[in-house]
């Protein structure tokens, strides 16, 4: 699948794959300075300098990169971001610092990963009753404690 991408700044970096089998495409920070501090417990918006044209029937999921999430406590603030097919603005990653120390993002550092995924276009049908199932109303730990 080919997806149109536009550099909003000449120094923006087109997303890359770590390996040929990678599902996620790495997104790179595009900062005004050489680094940006993300204080402990705070969220900072990080520009990428890119806009994409996602095909109809698909969206781009923005996920944490496992390295900076596990080693530095940095993740997308909304856990998983969604870029809809009709959005044409800049991809901006809101990064939250879950650690107890201030962290720095360097210019052109890989900060998140984007996965292109299909979705179903649904409509809701309001009813008075739903069909029953073996689980029925059981939730939050109802299928076992392990």
* Domain boundaries along the sequence of the chain: 11-116
Q: Output the CATH code of domain 11-116.
A: 2.70.40.10
**1-40: pLDDT as tens digits:** 999 999 999 999 999 999 999 999 999 999 999 999 999 9
Neighbours of 6 (CB within 10 A): 12
- Quick check: 93 and 114 in contact, CB under 8 A? no
- Supply the pTM of this predicted model: 0.88
Reduced to 3 DSSP states, what percent helix, strand and coil does the chain have, rounded to the nearest 5? 5, 35, 60
Q: Which of 94, 111, 109 is nearest to 34 (CA)?
A: 109
pLDDT for 146 equals 61
d(CA 19, CA 123): 38
Report, as an integer, the average pLDDT of 139-143.
69
């Amino acid at each position: 699948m080919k997806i149109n991408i536009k550099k909003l700044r000449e120094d923006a970096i087109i997303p890359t794959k770590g390996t040929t089998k990678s599902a996620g495409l790495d997104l790179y920070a595009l900062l005004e300075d050489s680094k940006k501090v993300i204080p402990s417990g705070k969220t900072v918006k990080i520009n990428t300098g890119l806009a994409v044209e996602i095909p109809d029937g698909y969206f781009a999921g923005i996920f944490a990169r496992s390295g900076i999430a596990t080693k530095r406590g940095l993740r997308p603030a909304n856990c998983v971001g969604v870029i809809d097919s009709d959005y044409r603005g800049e991809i901006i990653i809101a990064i939250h610092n879950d650690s107890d120390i201030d962290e720095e993002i360097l210019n052109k550092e890989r900060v998140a990963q984007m996965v292109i995924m299909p979705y179903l276009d649904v409509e809701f049908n309001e009813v008075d009753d739903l069909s029953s199932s073996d689980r029925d109303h059981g939730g939050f730990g109802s299928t076992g404690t392990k």
